[in-house]
Amino acid sequence: MMAEAIDDKTDEVAAGAPIVEVPGATVFVAATRAAGIRTALVSSASAANVRLALAALGLEDAFEVAVDAGQVTTGKPAPEPYLLAARMLGIPAAEMIVFEDSVAGIAAAQAAGALCVAIASWEPTQRLASADLVIRTWADWSPADIVATLAD
């Protein structure tokens, strides 16, 4: 598949290019799982890149479901990736809290009917303002904090 070849980072990582964690992400995912909250990963990347990133961050078993670009016909900003994740989890999309770092991802999550928390890791916070909540990093938040804030 052409898109997979274009975004494949395997050779770059093998040559020493690091995959850098968004601060607090792995701890937040672990805390989410420890709290008994179900998890899914939805990415616009290829399956190969998703596996590569999860392995590099030690998150290979952290998500019950992983949706990648090859599993959908219409990617973000369309809701299809999040609707597929909800279906695979067996829950309504309206019960999901989605974490996104892009305007297209926020649009996709909201179009699916999910609540959306924007992580301002590379986009300025004002560009992500359409999300239900915007945070700068996972490091300052727990899953319970997120749920409580969104419930207010």
Model's pTM, two decimal places? 0.88
- Residue 14 has what pLDDT? 59
Tell me how far CA of residue 95 lies from CA of 28, 34, 35, 87, 125, in angstroms: 19, 19, 16, 12, 25
Whether the predicted pLDDT of 30 surpasses 90: yes
Mean pLDDT on 129-143: 94
Average confidence score pLDDT of the chain = 89
Going from N- to C-terminal start, the domains of the chain cover 2-8+18-151
CATH 2.60.34.10 describes domain 2-8+18-151: no
Q: Give the contacts of 83 (CB within 8 A, at least 6 positions apart).
A: 93, 112
